[in-house]
Structure formats: C-alpha cells, structure tokens
Amino acid sequence: MLYSKNCRFTLLVTLCLSCFWSHAAKVDSLEVFSASMNKTYKAAVVVPNSYATSKATYPVLYLLHGGGGHFRDWLTSTPDKMLVKNLADQYNLIIVMPEGETFAWYLDSPANPNSKFETHIIKEVIPKIDGTYRTVRSNKGRVITGLSMGGHGAMYLSTRHPDLFCAAGSMSGALDMNWTKFKINEDFAKSLKNGFQQLMGSDDPTNDVYFKNSIVNMVETIKKNALPIMIDCGVDDFLVDINRELHQRLVYNNVPHDYIERPGGHTWGYWENALPYHLLFFHKILKGHGVTVN
C-alpha cells in the first residue's frame, strides 16, 4: 500500500512538472556567421511561451555577458536558473544573449582585426534575429543591457547606434576602460593590462584610444541621443566609483537617467536581483511605444 501511494505521488509530481515546463519559455541556440571575423558564433535566444500561439511581433532585449564569460552565462550562472526564462514570459519579449568573447568589450578592436564585436552585434546578430523571429524591427522595440564588461558594451552600442535601440542599461558596468581606476588587486590589474594591450594596441590607459572608447567620456553624445538609461551598481562593487563618476557627469550635464545603488558586490546574486528592475524599466518604455505583447 505504501509503495502504491509513493508511486502515485511520484506520478503526480512528474505530471505537474511536465505541465510546468511545457508552459515555460524555451531556449534556442542560434548560430550566427560573422563575415567580419570569418567565424561562426552562437547566441542563446529565450522565446516566451506565448510566441508559439501568437501572431504578434515581439520586442527584443539584448542581454550582454561580462568579461571572462560567454553567451550562456545568464542562463547558467544566476542562482535561479529560470530567471531569464521567467522574465521573458512575464514581459512577453524575446531575450537574446550574444557571444562577446572573454575580453572583446563589444567594440571593433583597433589592434586585433579578428575582434570586431561591435560589427558582429550590430550588423550580424541583430539582422539574424530579425530574420529568424517575429520581432519589432525598429528601435522602438529593441533594448539592451548587460553586466560589467557587458554593461559598458550595452551603453557603448546604444550610444553609437541610437537608431537601433530605444533604451539601454548597465549593471555593475565597467564604464571606464582605464583599469587603473578599478579597485582591484595587483594580479588582477596585471591581467587586465595584458588583455587591454592586446585589444587596444597600448598598455597606457591614458592613451586616446581608451578615452574615446570609454562610455564615461561620451556624455555629450548620450545627451544628444536622449535615450532612456538605467544604471545600477552595488555599493561594495570594485567598479562603484566609476559608476558614480558617470552618474555625476550625467547630472552635471542635465542628462535624464535612472541611477541606483544597492547593497552588494560584483556577484551573480547582485545581477540576479538587478535584472528584473531593468526589465520593469524597459517594459514601461516599450509599452509607451505600443510594442508590448499582451
């Protein structure tokens, strides 16, 4: 009798889980050929459950990973492995997580011709997504955010291509490429110096190539573009001073933006908590553009 009850209980749990998973967002692994780098990269694409039964066009969030990471980080590294799927379902939008390599900074390297990730995202990933899925194919339905290196990348790409995005965010962003401003130990600083040497062609962070590619120095362009911006960083993060610096520059230049500091450091626990706030911020903007899916 006990065995029979246990079997029935196990069957019930299995059926409940099957029902739950069948009504959750799905993850596609999409291959994107990069003509600019003559290489195929992957992107993870989370498609909300409603997509299968709807004929609507969907807004898209581009969600960038950080330094040392890869395209699947947001799916595998958060404490809650359902975070991105649940947010895609909650807000009925497609979430795209492209490859940015471990230290490419989402820009076209002035020193390495095989590292062109601004071109990859803008001219290869976005057209591939729009050609594969039913998306809002204008800046009214496209938003971007990311963590750390990806926070800088999201701000950098949106600032340089305001015709493609309607809002941008940054979580714990490395918003100045001058690594000597990071609150880090000597070994980490040496590692960054070597990485930047290969990427930028110089190990001098005061070099003009660093200055013109750092989002902290693009306030005039940010103001001209007038895109809604959300920036947040933990008070214990080694990048918090750089985030405060950009915030102060934006305030001084009367640039509207949302800025948040909350307890936490440079951790997945912090970013798991931060991402839903970014989605809420973006949802209000997308709703204002009339592109949300009910």
For 192-202, the pLDDT digits (tens) are: 999 999 999 99
* pLDDT beyond 50 at 290: yes
Sign of CA dihedral 112, 115, 119, 124: positive
Beginning with the edge strand found earlier in the chain, give each strand of the sheet holding 142-146 in spatial order.
Answer: 26-34, 39-47, 94-98, 60-64, 142-146, 167-171, 229-234, 258-262
* pLDDT beyond 50 at 18: no
* pLDDT beyond 50 at 19: no
d(CA 292, CA 216): 31
* pLDDT beyond 60 at 42: yes
Predicted pLDDT at 8 = 55
Q: How confident is the model at residue 13 (pLDDT cuts 50, 70, 90)?
A: very low
Mean model confidence pLDDT for the chain: 94
pTM of the predicted structure, to 2 decimals: 0.92
Phi, psi of 96 (to 5 degrees): -110, 130
Nearest-5° Cα angle at 250, 249 to 254: 120
Predicted pLDDT at 6 = 53
* pLDDT beyond 60 at 250: yes
Residue 13 vs residue 94, higher pLDDT: 94
Predicted pLDDT at 137 = 98
* pLDDT beyond 90 at 4: no
Q: Give the distance from CA 283 to its chain's centroid.
A: 15
Smallest Cα–Cα separation from 72: which of 52, 103, 100, 93? 100
pLDDT tens digits, one per residue of 187-241: 999 999 999 999 999 999 999 999 999 999 999 999 999 999 999 999 999 999 9
* Ordered structural domains, the chain, with CATH: 25-288 (3.40.50.1820)
Could you give the 3-state DSSP secondary structure of residue 52? Answer: helix
Q: How confident is the model at residue 2 (pLDDT cuts 50, 70, 90)?
A: very low
Q: Which of 2-6, 43-47, 53-57, 288-292 has the lowest mean pLDDT?
A: 2-6
Q: Per DSSP, which regions of the chain are E strands?
A: 26-34, 39-47, 60-64, 94-98, 142-146, 167-171, 229-234, 258-262
Is the separation of the CB atoms in 239 and 172 below 8 Å?
A: yes
Predicted pLDDT at 21 = 47
Q: Give the distance from CA 34 to its chain's centroid.
A: 20
Q: Which of 20-24, 105-109, 112-116, 171-175 has the lowest mean pLDDT?
A: 20-24
